[in-house]
Amino acid sequence: MSFAVFPRVVIFLVLFSAWRVCIADTVLVVGDSLSAGYGLPNGSGWVSLLEHQLAADKEPFPVVNASFSGETTAGGKRRIQGLLDRYRPHVVVVELGANDGLRGIRIPLIRENLSAIVEACQHRGAKVLVIGMRIPPNYGRDYGEKFHALFKEISKRYDASLVPFMLDGFADERSLFQDDGIHPTIDAQSLIMENIYGQLKPLL
């Protein structure tokens, strides 16, 4: 190899490596306020902690947080194609449904929306991690049980990975929730990250 060609090869390898990291290996989080860090200082939510954990484990996966407060499965369904086009993720973490449940949206409609999101991701070759949720009992036992079971149903139907309950292990610890009783505090973010990372890591 001549010295004239060598720099070109180096530049190509650097650009190719950057392309792989920025596009092919991205972890995309599509969620609501629980993932957007509602009421928390910037950079202290579980998604930011996940990015730090990946770096500590020497996993070259940049994390894109496409979550925002108030998002529903219908909103995720509308946005998912654009997000897939833009980021071409390796893994998509789908944390949606809590706002649907709090609004009493019909289970079949939530199922339809989540199915469309997972199908879109898998059609593009992305692995999917579904994050399960529960809702307060005031919506009725029947609705609550069907709502929680829905996430496992979607996971099984599409052979996607599953975190059965995002807040597992501390949901009854009032001190780990903000004044609204819904959004976890900064102290709970590491617990959420651990719940999710255990199921996410094998997908990487």
Catalytic residue (choose from 2, 57, 180, 187) = 180
Q: Name residues whose C-beta falls within 8 Å of residue 20's C-beta, 6 or more positions apart in sequence.
A: none
Q: Does residue 48 have an active-site annotation?
A: no
Q: Does residue 33 have an active-site annotation?
A: yes
Q: Alpha helix (H) ranges present in the chain?
A: 6-19, 33-36, 46-56, 73-87, 98-102, 107-123, 141-158, 189-200
Catalytic residue (choose from 17, 172, 183, 187) = 183
Q: Does residue 175 have an active-site annotation?
A: no
CA distance 49 to 54: 9
CA distance 48 to 190: 10
Catalytic residue (choose from 33, 35, 48, 67) = 33
In the chain, count of helices (H) and strands (E)? 8, 5
Active site (catalytic) residues: 33, 180, 183
